[in-house]
Chain A
């Protein structure tokens, strides 16, 4: 089921981009739709952060990923670049697990 998701997802993402160039301007020129498209990524990304940090399957869990997320937030507050943020989070979780301090 992975290849179909990859192919359909890629095709769909491309068509969304192309869509903005080929449709008449007034179709997307709707303040409500524009506001929604602007805030939708915020809501979705935040939900992804929450679920990918605090859950395993269908269980709400707390493990080394929470510490990783906290470290990532500190790195972001210090204006660290994207890659550094990710490395800091991964390293924090790895060290805590290696030291037996977290699952």
Chain B
């Protein structure tokens, strides 16, 4: 239970948290779980990069502020901030308000969930094992914008499933990195 709460407090990026728990829960190794979680978290670096011009004040920002800002850099806070002009007070407010609100609610939700799950016998009876992939597809859904992203998703899922009998638990998911590398090359070639 404390492990789950620690993830929400410390990691605070939903897809990575779900991936870490999902892979550990289905017998995958700790290393594979961490690598997958971090690959999913890599997009936050790019969010941070684009948020610099939106949220940061012209003055040199304090270290504490930047460190807090980093922890709140997630899908939602980025999406809210970049709707406003760069460097505007609205963009700053949108970022901090969204980030803090989600941080508090996310952690409250985690606490309730962790307490509830601790009282359960078999999570399968309540269909909680079906809730895991449902959570992933709900995170995936808004990213499926066109035919090429849908194709990428279908191929990634198919390759990973095909590798299940061959590789150790947890590893098949990482095949998605190779699929993404190939897809990136194809997209680059089509653009050129």
Contacts and interface: CB of A to CB of B under 8 A. Distances in A.
Contacts of A44: 15, 19, 36, 39-40, 156, 173, 176-177, 180
Interface residues of B, number: 88
B38 A48 contact: no
Given A41-B15, A48-B173, A17 B45 contact: yes
A47 B45 contact: no
Given A9-B16, A43-B180, A28 B134 contact: no
B67 A18 contact: yes
B97 interface: no
B157 A50 contact: yes
B19 to A, nearest CB: 6
Contacts of A76: 137-138, 141
A52 B66 contact: no
Contact of B30 (A1, A10, A13, A94): A1
B10 A11 contact: yes
B134 A39 contact: no
A102 to B, nearest CB: 10
Given A35-B188, A51-B172, A9 B183 contact: no
B27 to A, nearest CB: 6
Interface string B31-56: 00110111111111111110110000
A58 B3 contact: no
B186 to A, nearest CB: 10
Interface in B112-155: 124-141, 143-144, 149, 152-154
A90 B124 CA distance: 9
Chain B interface SS verdict (over half)? helix
Contact of B156 (A46, A58, A68): A46
Contacts of A50: 156-158, 160-161
Given A38-B43, A86-B138, 12 more contacts: A12-B37, A17-B71, A18-B67, A40-B43, A46-B154, A48-B136, A48-B173, A51-B173, A54-B164, A69-B134, A82-B138, A89-B133
13 contacts: A5-B20, A7-B6, A9-B34, A13-B10, A16-B44, A35-B188, A43-B156, A44-B39, A47-B156, A52-B132, A58-B169, A71-B134, A76-B137
Interface of A: 1-14, 16-22, 25, 28-29, 32, 34-60, 64-65, 67-69, 71-73, 76, 82, 85-95, 97-98
